A and B are shown apart, each in its own frame.
Chain A
Amino acid sequence: MGGTVDLSVDIGGMRLRNPVMTASGTCGYGEELAPYMDLRRLGAIVVKGLSLKPRPGNPPPRMTEVPSGLINSIGLQNIGVEAFVRDKLPSLMDLGVPVIANIFGEDVEEYCLLARRLDGSGVAAIELNISCPNVKKGGMEFGRIPEEAHDLVREVRRATGLPIITKLSPNVRDIKEMAMAVEEAGTDAISLINTIPAMAIDVERRRPRLSSIIGGLSGPAIRPIAVRMVWEAYQAVKVPIIGVGGIMGASDALEFVIAGACAVQIGTATFIDPAVCEKVLKGIEEYMDRHGIRRFVDLIGSLEVS
């Protein structure tokens, strides 16, 4: 088993050995997971969101559990792009697995500076987290308005030669419209979905469970929404789609692939089992063996609708 199937995929000029990646913000800078799994087994490693300057993140409490999900408001705590390139990237690159840098800024210029800084650093691609408030434009998220997302991607496209993956927010009127806007602006791929805005209340104390009141929902609770959005985006665009949201096992990952994703990212499940990516990969291989499918790419978008 294993050697008999071809799991490789191409994403925006990147060749991945297999379609299973970590999701940003759930594997730290990679090193935290090293004691639990062989990181070289991953298709790619997507690191915690990076900003120009280090950010302390939100005050606690930052996380709360809800049925089949988790609401977080970490506040994008990170060490900043310089420290990442200097202290974390070299050992990550030694693994021989493509490293994808997830980035976010408060305005278009910050995104461009980040992209330029990472060009030539050794990362294989950048993933744009556009679910961030555009401070210059009154705090509305880039990810909510197709025109803003379009302009952002177009500028980042000019700033870097690296493959660009644009990570879409589910918090939009129409995901197809968003996907088409960023495709037209020149993104090489899209990933979806980021977390869904959510809230939980401690009724005894009549207080919000999170210091920031509202946070982002992840985990199995959001999977059907994410699968639907991948399916819709797949109808609308030609660029490769990376499916994210509530994947706990191989059959969940396969749902995304059959709906049209050419790769998957695994987030919250890593908290429960830090070796889950290996399990998902093994499960996909077993599925392919069982169904006599030799090439993983043949599964992409293979949904039968009669």
Chain B
Amino acid sequence: MSYVVTASPHLHSGDSTPRIMWNVVLSLVPVVAAAAWFFGPTALLVVLASVAGALLPERIWGRRSATRDGSAAITGILLALTLPPGIPLWMAFLGGAFGIIFGKLVFGGLGQNVFNPALLGRAFLQAAFPVAITTWPVAGGPWWGLRGDTFAIPFASPQPLDTVTAATPLGLMKFEHKGTPLWDLMLGTTGGSLGETAALVILLCGGYLALRNYLNWRIPASIFLSVAIFSGVLHLLDASRYPGPLFMIFSGGVVLGAVFMATDMVTSPVTHGGCYVFGAGIGLLVVAIRVWGGLAEGVMYAILLMNAVVPSINRITQPRVFGTREAA
């Protein structure tokens, strides 16, 4: 009889990478459901298209059975949540594929990428189709109705849209200096992309992940804090030009970005100290881009910029090794 010989430890916590990933997917289900509630079946179609776009290249070029670890599905869902409900499905598909190919596979697949693949896909769509990605249909209307050019033919020249386009709270604020009631922001009854609108649902789902230690709460906490502080200071200086901290946090993609995008394990720091630095940096950039930049929204670029410096953040925030208190 022969026995298995393995290295110690011979016990394991039982956690696994696919389990973490599928838990994130699970926690995104209510967010997708909320999107479907606000924007009708179109929302689900956009999610499906984007997930399919993410899975396909992973299936073709990724590691064996890489699609089963759940990470590409997350990328697809997250990307969809940043898109406007009326976006043509082929664009959502293309965005997902771009995010996985150029955001993940070229770096060497799972765990090797520097940038959040979902945000990279979104950045690509924004650069390639600036009109489609900033066309926001109104929430409400007939629930079953399709919004926008859902079934547009790929690469056909975009027709002037015949849907009514609503402004997002951030657009209203930036370009028309109009506020939106906070309660609408929290509950999601405003214009915006799929996952931007239901802040409360996102916070609850994030709380679940944080409890299971699948999400480092320090990142969203420090993002919220830093957005609050910087926008609060500006608001105190000139309340008529700069919106207050609560509006800043609950409008646009801050909540979604802070809870689900910035916390992507692969592209965020491994040290706790690093998580605070990372979150603070994102918050600062979000406020700066929104206030001084030409864009109404800044979350995507803020996170991507901070992704780029994660290796340096990790380096300067190494924990103090046990027994080195006095040592230089």
Partners in one complex: no
Footprint of A on B, CB under 8 Å? none
Footprint of B on A, CB under 8 Å? none
